[in-house]
Chains A and B, each alone.
Chain A
């Protein structure tokens, strides 16, 4: 995919496609989505979740029979629908970002709003799933499987909520015809954050619902 920068009010460096760049000009630097510092946050978050996944797998290895039995109590439909919702939202966010880059504000707003709608549907589905489990007396105090299930999905839902806040800010910026350099970095960074939330869910879905 072409990493085309968002049009900003601040002119880019001299040279480029139309400029007459001298032969000894330094090679063009690779574009980092968002800004380099943002990746401290994203990689930090992913490291914490990776450690948690490791802790979950370690606990699972100690009680494989219990984990296999309790996993059957989960409704895969809830997890499957949530996976589809987040994957769709990620696609919508990519379309939105491309629309912002091509200065198509209407498409950009519609795409980001669709991604947020998917996020809201994810949370509503999560609420229904949790209610159903609690009604069947599966709670964090029951056994290790459900303790980790509620902790991991709860932490992830918390990140979805933060992501929704970030997407709200991106939606407001998508109304503007031109963005400042900082604003365009925020838009790219915000969409990267949403992709991270999606990526974490895909791993969580596999670990909690599918792995035997």
Chain B
């Protein structure tokens, strides 16, 4: 008589391929259509930059911080209606940053055991969402009070400082994504390792915006090569790269679910 168990079809998978999670995280039955919808919502955010911010608000290239109060007032009065419509579009569509980040946070959750990075990510995205919504509100008030030169200049500055100077929170989100990829506990890699390095680069490239308070001219002013152009190109390219990678990850998950 032998004590050896007969092999059965319901044997658990080998240890090295087993998910470290239990419950819904082990199964991870995503709704690919809803996930894709959330990811695509980020493209609305990017589109609003082109249409609302650049085209309607005339903010690309940005007005110079060296302009006098009267120069700024004249510029705002000239484009008042257009700025108000652009700000309305930006306020509405920029809040989609939060829905765009949700699938990324879900994948971060899958890459770690205890949800520390996820918690920090959720908090940062919630705060970032509030900041993003406030940017165009500042420019709305600027155009709304387009008769007082001091108010107009102050709110133009406030909008740009909210837009660029608040980079650390967003850079931290990038660093969190990088750490999650490096520390991935899931047996099959969910996001590629090069993406971790890319996120570290994207986070570092936004650092020059920290110096915009010290300069009104040159590359570090809020219309400068470093503080404006580098930060904007870096951030919105990052959104597009992350969108492409997330769509691939969702497709992979969809194929996995079809095999079950």
- Report which A residues bind B (CB closer than 8 A): 35-41, 44-45, 48, 51-52, 55, 140-141, 144, 147-148, 151, 155, 158
* A41 and B193 contacting across the interface, CB-CB below 8 Å: no
Q: Digit string of B220-250 for contact with A (CB within 8 Å is 1, else 0)?
A: 1000011000100000000000000000000
B208 on the interface (CB 8 Å rule)?
yes
B189-244 residues at the A interface, CB under 8 angstroms: 192-198, 200-201, 204-205, 207-208, 211, 214-215, 218-220, 225-226, 230
Question: B205: nearest residue on chain A (CB-CB)?
Answer: A48
Contact B219 A148, beta carbon cutoff 8 Å:
yes
Q: Is the CB of A55 within 8 A of B207?
A: no
Cross-interface CB contact of A151 among B197, B198, B201, B220, cutoff 8 Å: B220
Instruction: Using CB atoms, name the residue of chain A closest to B198.
Output: A40
User: In this complex, what residue of B is CB-closest to A34?
Assistant: B197
- Across-interface contacts of B218 in A (CB, < 8 A): 144, 147-148, 151
Knowing that A51-B230, A151-B219 touch, tell me 11 more A-B residue pairs with CB under 8 angstroms.
Answer: A37-B197, A38-B197, A40-B197, A40-B201, A41-B197, A44-B198, A45-B204, A48-B230, A52-B219, A141-B215, A151-B208
Interface residues of B: mostly helix, strand, loop or mixed? helix
B194 and A40 contacting across the interface, CB-CB below 8 Å:
yes
A-B contact pairs, 7 of them (CB 8 A): A41-B198, A44-B201, A45-B201, A55-B225, A151-B211, A151-B218, A151-B226
Give Cα A79 to B220, complex, Å. Answer: 24
Distance to closest chain B CB from A38 (angstroms): 5
Smallest Cβ-Cβ distance to B225: which chain A residue = A55
Contact A140 B215 (CB under 8 A): yes
**Chain A contact residues: helix, strand, loop or mixed:** helix
A41 vs B204: C-alpha distance when bound (angstroms): 10
Q: Tell me the nearest residue of chain A to B195, going by C-beta.
A: A37
Cβ of A148: which chain B residues have Cβ within 8 Å of it?
218-219
Q: Flag if A37 contacts B219 (CB, 8 Å).
A: no
**What residue of chain B has the Cβ atom nearest to residue A44's Cβ?**
B201
A186 to chain B, nearest CB (A): 10
User: Contact: B205 with A44, CB < 8 Å?
Assistant: yes
A140 and B214 in contact (CB under 8 A), knowing A44-B205, A55-B219, A151-B226? yes
Does the CB pair B208–A155 fall under 8 Å?
A: yes
**Measured between alpha carbons, how far is A155 from B205 in the docked complex, in Å?**
10
Q: Give the Cβ gap from A143 to chain B, nearest Cβ, in Å.
A: 10
Chain B residues in 8 Å Cβ range of A147: 215, 218-219
CA distance A202 to B246 in the complex (A): 39
Listed residue (A37, A39, A40, A51) with the most chain B CB atoms within 10 angstroms of its CB: A40
Q: In the complex the two chains form, is A158's CB within 8 Å of B219's CB?
A: no
**Chain B residue with Cβ nearest A36:** B194
A35 to B198, CA, bound (A): 13
CA distance A155 to B219 in the complex (A): 13
Whether the Cβ atoms of B192 and A37 lie closer than 8 Å is yes
Which 6 A-B pairs rank lowest in CB-CB distance, beginning with the nearest?
A37-B194, A44-B201, A41-B197, A37-B193, A41-B201, A37-B197
